[in-house]
C-alpha cells in the first residue's frame, strides 16, 4: 500500500500484529542488555546464548503484550499508541492477553529446561514486575512511576548473568543498577516531549505533575548518579581501562545533552530538539555501554 | 600505569551520594509544589527513599569489595616480588 506522498505502508496482517504486540524495537535493546552481560560473566556456549535469547525475547514480548491488554483504555487516547492492534480494532483484547500469557509461559519453560531455573525465575520476576508493579500499580498512580518501574527493564542483565554463572552477585547487581538509573533521564526526555499525550490519557508523568523545570533538574541528578555508578565496578576489578574510558565518554555526552536541555529551559528557549537528541542518544548510550563491557572483558 | 582505584572509588561514591541527596531534595520540593494530600505524600516519600536506602547498602558492599580487591592486588604484588629471582 502507498500513501500519496509515496511512502510505503505495510498491509496489516495477523503475523505482523503478533510481532507488533511484542514491541520488537524495544526488545532489541533488552536483548542486547541480556546477551552482553553473558560475555561479561564468562564464555557462554552458543546453545546457552540461543536459548537465553529466545527465552528473553518471548518473556519480554509476553510482558509487552499483556501491557497492551492492560493499557487498552488509554492507548486509544495517545497518538503514539492508538495504532496498536487493540485500539485500532484489529485484535480482540482477550486474544492479546492469551498470546502474552502463552509466550511468557513458553519462555519460562524454555529457560528453566534449557538454561537453568534461576534464569527462568529472574525472567519471570521481570515479567511480573513489569505487568503488576509497573503497569497495574505505579504507572497511573505516581509521577515516580518510571523511577521504580525502571526495575522491570533492569532484569535482563541479571537474566544473562545467571544464564552463564547460575548465580547473581555484586557485578551483576551493578548492571541492574545501571539500567535502573538510566531509565529516568531516558524516559523523562520522552515524557517532556509527549506531555500532552500523557496528560490526555491521565498518566501522571513527572513533567505533567512536577513541571518541566523540576523534571529536568532530576534528569540532571540522575545522569550524574549514573555516571558515578557506571565507574564503580572498575574499583573492584570487574572492568578495566577500556570500559572506564567508554563509561566516562558516553556518560559525559549524555550529561552534556541533559545540561543543554536545562540551559535552554532556564533561558526560556525551545528545548524540544535537545530533548529528542537526549532521548535518542540515551538508547545508543546504553547499547554502547553494554558492548564496551563485553569488549573490555574479552580483549 | 595502574589506575588510581581509591581515588576513583571515593570520587564516584561522592558523586552518587550527592546526586541521590539532590534527587530526594528535588522530590520533596516537587511534592510540596504539587500540593498532594498528606497520605499521598507519605507514599511518594517512600517511593523516593526506598531506592536511596538500597543504593547506600550497595555502596557499602562496594567499598568492602574494593578493599578486598586492593588487598588481593597487594598480596599478588608481594608474592610476585618474593618469587622473583
Whether A82 has a pLDDT exceeding 90, the answer reads: no
Q: How far is B50 from chain A (nearest CA, A)?
A: 9
Tell me the mean pLDDT in the region B23-29: 93
Residue A189 — very low, low, confident or very high, per pLDDT cuts 50/70/90? very high
Residues of chain B contacting A228 with CB distance shorter than 8 Å: 11-16, 19
Which of B5, B26, B62 lies closest to A214 in CB terms? B26
Q: What pLDDT shows up at residue B1?
A: 64
Whether A148 has a pLDDT exceeding 60, the answer reads: yes
Q: Which residue of A has its CA nearest to B42?
A: A142
State whether A214 and B20 contact (CB < 8 Å). no
Q: What pLDDT shows up at residue B23?
A: 96
State whether A237 and B69 contact (CB < 8 Å). yes
Residue A8 — very low, low, confident or very high, per pLDDT cuts 50/70/90? low
Tell me the mean pLDDT in the region A66-84: 88
B57-76, pLDDT tens digit by residue?
999 999 999 999 998 887 77
| Stronger pLDDT, B39 or A53, i.e. the higher one | A53
Tell me the mean pLDDT in the region A21-27: 91
State whether B3 and A241 contact (CB < 8 Å). yes
Q: How far is A125 from chain B (nearest CA, A)?
A: 18
A227-258, pLDDT tens digit by residue?
999 999 999 999 999 999 999 999 999 999 99
| Stronger pLDDT, B31 or A118, i.e. the higher one | A118
| DSSP class per residue in chain A | -B-TTS-B-PPP-HHHHHHHHT-HHHHHHHHHHHHHHHHHH----HHHHHHHHHHHHHHHHHHHHHHHHHTHHHHTT-TTTTTSTTTTTSS-HHHHHHHHHHHHHHHHHHHHHHT-HHHHHHHHHHHHIIIIIIIIIITTT-TTHHHHHHHHHTHHHHHHHHHHHSS--HHHHHHHHHHHHHHHHHHHHHHHHTHHHHHHHT---HHHHT-HHHHHHHHHHHHHHHHHHHHGGGGGTS--HHHHHHHHHHHHHHHHHHHHHHHHHHHT---HHHHHHHHHHHHHHHHHHHHHHHHHHH-
Whether A9 has a pLDDT exceeding 70, the answer reads: no
Residues of chain B contacting A180 with CB distance shorter than 8 Å: 51
Tell me the mean pLDDT in the region A77-95: 88
Amino acid at each position: 500500500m502507498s500513501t500519496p506522498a509515496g511512502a510505503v505502508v505495510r498491509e496489516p496482517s495477523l503475523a505482523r500484529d503478533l510481532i507488533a504486540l511484542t514491541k520488537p524495537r524495544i526488545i532489541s535493546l533488552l536483548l542486547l542488555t541480556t546477551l552482553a552481560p553473558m560475555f561479561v560473566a564468562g564464555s557462554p556456549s552458543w546453545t546457552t546464548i540461543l536459548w537465553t535469547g529466545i527465552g528473553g525475547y518471548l518473556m519480554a514480548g509476553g510482558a509487552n503484550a499483556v501491557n497492551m491488554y492492560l493499557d487498552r483504555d488509554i492507548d486509544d487516547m495517545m497518538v503514539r499508541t492508538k495504532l496498536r492492534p487493540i485500539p485500532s480494532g484489529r485484535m480482540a483484547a482477550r486474544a492479546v492477553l492469551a498470546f502474552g500469557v502463552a509466550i511468557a509461559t513458553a519462555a519460562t519453560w524454555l529457560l528453566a529446561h534449557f538454561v537453568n531455573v534461576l534464569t527462568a525465575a529472574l525472567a519471570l520476576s521481570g515479567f511480573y514486575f513489569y505487568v503488576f508493579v509497573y503497569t497495574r500499580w505505579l504507572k497511573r498512580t505516581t509521577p515516580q512511576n518510571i523511577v521504580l518501574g525502571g526495575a522491570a527493564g533492569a532484569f535482563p542483565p541479571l537474566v544473562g548473568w545467571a544464564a552463564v554463572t547460575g548465580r547473581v552477585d555484586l557485578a551483576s547487581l551493578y548492571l541492574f543498577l545501571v539500567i535502573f538509573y538510566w531509565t529516568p533521564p531516558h524516559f523523562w526526555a520522552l515524557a517532556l516531549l509527549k506531555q500532552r499525550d500523557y496528560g490526555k490519557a491521565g498518566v501522571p508523568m513527572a513533567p505533567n505533575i512536577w513541571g518541566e523545570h523540576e523534571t529536568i533538574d532530576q534528569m540532571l541528578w540522575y545522569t550524574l548518579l549514573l555516571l558515578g555508578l557506571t565507574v564503580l565496578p572498575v574499583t573492584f576489578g570487574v572492568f578495566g581501562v577500556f570500559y572506564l574510558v567508554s563509561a566516562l565518554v558516553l556518560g559525559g555526552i549524555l550529561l552534556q545533552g541533559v545540561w543543554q536541555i536545562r540551559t535552554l529551559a532556564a533561558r526560556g528557549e525551545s528545548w524540544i530538539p535537545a530533548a529528542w537528541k537526549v532521548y535518542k542518544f540515551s538508547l545508543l548510550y546504553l547499547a554502547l555501554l553494554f558492548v564496551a563491557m563485553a569488549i573490555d572483558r574479552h580483549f | 600505569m595502574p589506575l588510581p582505584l581509591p581515588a576513583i572509588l571515593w570520587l564516584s561514591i561522592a558523586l552518587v551520594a550527592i546526586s541521590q541527596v539532590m534527587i530526594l531534595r528535588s522530590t520533596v520540593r516537587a511534592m510540596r509544589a504539587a500540593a498532594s494530600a498528606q497520605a499521598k505524600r507519605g507514599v511518594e516519600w517512600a517511593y523516593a527513599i526506598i531506592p536511596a536506602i538500597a543504593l547506600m547498602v550497595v555502596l557499602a558492599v562496594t567499598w568492602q569489595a574494593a578493599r578486598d580487591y586492593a588487598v588481593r592486588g597487594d598480596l599478588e604484588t608481594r608474592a610476585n616480588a618474593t618469587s622473583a629471582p
